[in-house]
């Protein structure tokens, strides 16, 4: 396996008194693409938020490039090269498209600047046409492109996409999948959460399936047979 980039061990996370994650292990290597699957409410988003410092796991350990970041602030983790495209997109509606992109642009961990403002606009020509629009005025697909573009402008080594194609028209979703494929091809490690299991399995080297806060499957994508999908994901 590739050299580990992000490694979470035995994560237990609570929201108040509800015990959501029950000892989850999750790892992703440099340049690897991992699909994270599970039906609604199984804890995928909670796992991501636990690894990125947005919720504190009560037990367990998160390491990023070998550094223990379990107690680190979310911005510290982000600055170690992790970009996050959250569920519901998280654009800033009161900033223009241009400002959304520029506010967080920076070089990567080793000083790389592969993703520039220019390159993002070339990748997402629709954004280039709407630079002065408020973020809140964009369509769902454009907002998604904006969040992904903004994430890329931080020149990450790991991109986490939580339901990036949710609620998008099929044609737009196809566009997003193509771009995710390009990103993955450029050597950025990706964690992909999506309800379109076929597309995820297609892109991912490895798949992780969660049920009720535990991992029930973690193996190469081609080992994820129709039977297992049927059993755990109910498709």
Partner 1 sequence: MFIPRAGTRGQAPLLIPHNRDSEETRPMDTAFFFIQLLNGLQYGLLLFLVACGLTLIFGIMGIINLAHGSFYMIGAYIAWSLASMTGNLALAILLGIPLTVLLGMLLEWLLFRYLYARDHLYQVLMTYGLILVFEELRSLVWGDDVHGVAVPALLAGSIPLTDNLSYPIYRLAISVICLVLAGGLYWLIQKTRLGMMIRAGSTNREMVQALGINIKLLYTLIFALGVALAAFAGMIAAPVSSVYPNMGAQVLIICFVVVVIGGIGSVWGALLASVLIGLTDTFGKVLLPEYAGVSTYLLMALVLLWRPEGLFKRI
Which residues of the chain form contacts with ligand ATP (CB under 6 A)? 15, 18, 20, 38, 40-46, 87
DSSP assignment, residue 188? -
Q: Which is nearer to partner 1, 39 or 54 (CB)?
A: 54
CA 1/CA 78 separation, integer angstroms: 24
Q: State in angstroms the smallest separation of the CB of 52 from partner 1.
A: 7
Q: Which of 10, 104, 169, 198 binds partner 1 (CB under 8 A)?
A: 104
CA 177/CA 198 separation, integer angstroms: 11
Is residue 95 close enough to count as binding partner 1 by CB under 8 A?
yes
**163 near 89, Cβ under 8 Å?**
no
**24 near 213, Cβ under 8 Å?**
yes
CA 50/CA 159 separation, integer angstroms: 15
CA 197/CA 229 separation, integer angstroms: 9
Q: Which is nearer to partner 1, 10 or 102 (CB)?
A: 102
Q: Phi and psi of 136, rounded to 5°?
A: -75, -15
Give the contact letters, 35-74, x = binds to Mg ion (CB under 5 A), - = no: ---------xx-----------------------------
C-beta atoms surrounding 86 within 10 Å: 18
DSSP structure string for 157-173: SEEEEESTTTT--HHHH
**80 near 108, Cβ under 8 Å?**
no
Give the contact letters, 25-64, x = binds to partner 1 (CB under 8 A), - = no: ---------------------------xxx----------
Q: Which is nearer to ligand ATP, 46 or 70 (CB)?
A: 46
Is residue 147 close enough to count as binding Mg ion by CB under 5 A?
no
Q: State in angstroms the smallest separation of the CB of 221 from partner 1.
A: 27
CA 164/CA 53 separation, integer angstroms: 21
Q: Which of 17, 18, 40, 75 binds partner 1 (CB under 8 A)?
A: 75
Is residue 165 close enough to count as binding Mg ion by CB under 5 A?
no
Residues 139-168 that bind partner 1 (CB under 8 A): 150, 154
User: Contact positions toward partner 1, by CB under 8 A?
Assistant: 52-54, 73-75, 78-79, 83-84, 86, 90, 92-95, 99, 102-104, 106, 150, 154
């Amino acid at each position: 396996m590739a050299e580990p980039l992000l490694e979470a061990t035995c994560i237990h996370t609570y929201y108040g008194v509800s015990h959501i994650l029950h000892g989850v292990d999750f790892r992703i290597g440099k340049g690897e693409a991992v699909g994270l699957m599970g039906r609604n409410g199984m804890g995928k988003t909670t796992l991501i938020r636990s690894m990125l410092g947005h919720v504190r796991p009560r037990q367990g350990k998160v390491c990023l490039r070998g550094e223990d970041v379990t107690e680190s602030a979310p911005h510290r983790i982000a600055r170690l090269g992790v970009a996050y495209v959250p569920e519901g997109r998280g654009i800033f509606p009161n900033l223009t498209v241009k400002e959304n992109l520029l506010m967080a642009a920076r070089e990567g961990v080793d000083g790389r600047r592969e993703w520039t403002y220019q390159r993002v606009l070339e990748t997402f020509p629709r954004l280039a046409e709407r630079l002065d629009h408020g973020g809140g005025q964009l369509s769902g697909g454009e907002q998604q492109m904006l969040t992904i573009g903004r994430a890329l402008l931080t020149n990450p080594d790991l991109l986490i996409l939580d339901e990036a194609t949710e609620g998008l028209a099929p044609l737009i979703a196809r566009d997003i999948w193509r771009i995710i494929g390009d990103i993955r091809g450029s050597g950025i490690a990706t964690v992909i959460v999506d309800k379109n299991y076929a597309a995820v399995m297609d892109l991912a080297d490895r798949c992780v399936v969660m049920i009720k806060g535990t991992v029930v499957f973690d193996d190469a994508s081609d080992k994820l047979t129709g039977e297992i999908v049927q059993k755990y994901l109910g498709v």
